[in-house]
Structure formats: structure tokens, C-alpha cells
Chain A
């Protein structure tokens, strides 16, 4: 079974600085998707960034970028120029697909605090 591990329960960063959140996963599949979701205090899950495994280029969305290391099964999220609105729980997720049925497997989450 696929597993997703986030080893940092909490992280903090000064406003305007850069922070990296770590994620590792385990799978036997060769093609898959990885995601980072943000869950602010409103509790809604918001997609931050998505990476397809067969694409070697790291995904980037404005201030958010990933470092995808397929061989190491590592998928870290870098947030540049941190803003107060970035404070949230961040979940790393893996798309599992069995016999055509898809679901997301989430990591334990990292709580990110932005210090003004």
C-alpha cells in the first residue's frame, strides 16, 4: 500500500523568507501524481501544487515550487517570500489508483506558522 510521510509536525518561518516542507512516500507504481494541499483555519482543502511522476521538470506555481526526487521518493514544497496568509496546515498527498478507482492518500500534515 502507498504511504505518505511528513516528518515535520510544525515549521515556522519569518515573513518574506523561504521555507521548505518535507514529504516522502512509498509506492511500487511508476506513474503517479503527488500533491500539496493547504488547509487554512477555515479547514477547506485547497490544492497548492501538483506533480506528475513522469515529468522530470519540477512543478512551480508562483511562490510555490517542488523538489521532486523520484528515485529517493521525496517531494518537498518550497514556499518563497512567505506571507502571513500562507499560515496553514500543509498536507502532502499521493494519488492511489487501483483497478481504475482513484483516491488520495494524505500525509500527517505540517503546521506552518509565519512570524511577522
Chain B
């Protein structure tokens, strides 16, 4: 069965650079959620999209932006990277009407800022 695909799996960037993380939801899933998990930390909600519109926003820095495209994939853009942005970034997706209760997680993108 198809799963949530995140790319790249690993990314190394220097401070002040820009990074783009991509999330491809399970086919026919219309909602995408982004989470950030720092080293030894619990996942923190960043932002979510439903039908290409932002549905909720968490503790996402102003340096970050995200969007969901017409094919329902989502991209998280991170600018002016800081060492503290080093983390595992998860994406999850869910079907219409199911919400996060039935969400599936991707394997994450590990971002390292040096």
C-alpha cells in the first residue's frame, strides 16, 4: 500500500541557507500536517493544510512557510536556517472527513544545519 512519501530523507545545510522539504500524501488524502521533532524532544505541530488551504498553524517560525499544491503534495520552505532548526520533520496525511484521527505519518526528513 502507498504510504506518505517525504523527500529528501536527509538534508544538510549551512546556517543562513534555505531548505525545501516535500511531502507527498497517500493518494486521495486531502489533509497534510507538518511536525518538527528536535533531538530528544516530542514532535511539535507546525502547520496543516486541508484542500490546499491552511487549516491550522502552530509554533512555526516566520522564517518558515508552507503550502499545499493542486495535487495535494505540500512543501515546507525554511529560510535563514539556524542551528536550532536541526530536527526531524514529519509529514502526515489523512483522508477526507477522517482528520488526524486516521492520519498516517511519513518517515520524516532529517535536517542538519551546520
Instruction: Name A's B-contacting residues (CB within 8 A).
Output: 33, 42-46, 50, 91, 95, 97-98, 100-109
Instruction: Name B's A-contacting residues (CB within 8 A).
Output: 33, 35, 42-45, 48, 50, 55-56, 58, 88, 90, 92, 99-101, 103, 105-108, 110
Most interface-central of A97, A100, A106 (chain B CB within 10 A): A106
With a cutoff of 8 Å between Cβ atoms, the chain A residues found around residue B48 in the complex are: 101-103
A6 to B105, CA, bound (A): 21
Contact across chains for A43 and B45 when beta carbons are under 8 A apart: no
The secondary-structure label for the interface of chain A is strand
Nearest chain A CB to B52 CB, angstrom units: 15
Known: A103-B45, A103-B48, A106-B42. A44 touches B107 (CB 8 A): yes
With a cutoff of 8 Å between Cβ atoms, the chain B residues found around residue A109 in the complex are: 42
**Known pairs A50-B101, A104-B35. 12 more at Cβ < 8 A?**
A42-B107, A43-B88, A44-B105, A44-B108, A45-B90, A45-B92, A95-B99, A98-B56, A101-B50, A102-B100, A104-B43, A106-B43
Contact across chains for A104 and B45 when beta carbons are under 8 A apart: yes
With a cutoff of 8 Å between Cβ atoms, the chain B residues found around residue A106 in the complex are: 42-44
With a cutoff of 8 Å between Cβ atoms, the chain B residues found around residue A45 in the complex are: 43, 90, 92, 105
A100 to B97, CA, bound (A): 11
Nearest chain B CB to A21 CB, angstrom units: 14
A46 to B103, CA, bound (A): 10
Contact across chains for A103 and B58 when beta carbons are under 8 A apart: yes
With a cutoff of 8 Å between Cβ atoms, the chain A residues found around residue B108 in the complex are: 43-44
Q: Nearest residue in B to A104 (C-beta to C-beta)? A: B100
Contact across chains for B99 and A102 when beta carbons are under 8 A apart: yes
Known: A43-B107, A45-B90. A107 touches B42 (CB 8 A): yes
Selected contact of A103 from candidates B33, B88, B105, B106, CB within 8 Å = B33
Q: List 28 A-B contacts (CB under 8 A).
A: A42-B107, A43-B107, A43-B108, A45-B90, A46-B105, A50-B101, A91-B42, A95-B100, A95-B101, A98-B56, A101-B48, A101-B50, A101-B56, A102-B100, A102-B101, A103-B33, A103-B58, A104-B33, A104-B35, A104-B43, A104-B45, A104-B100, A104-B103, A105-B45, A106-B42, A106-B43, A107-B42, A109-B42
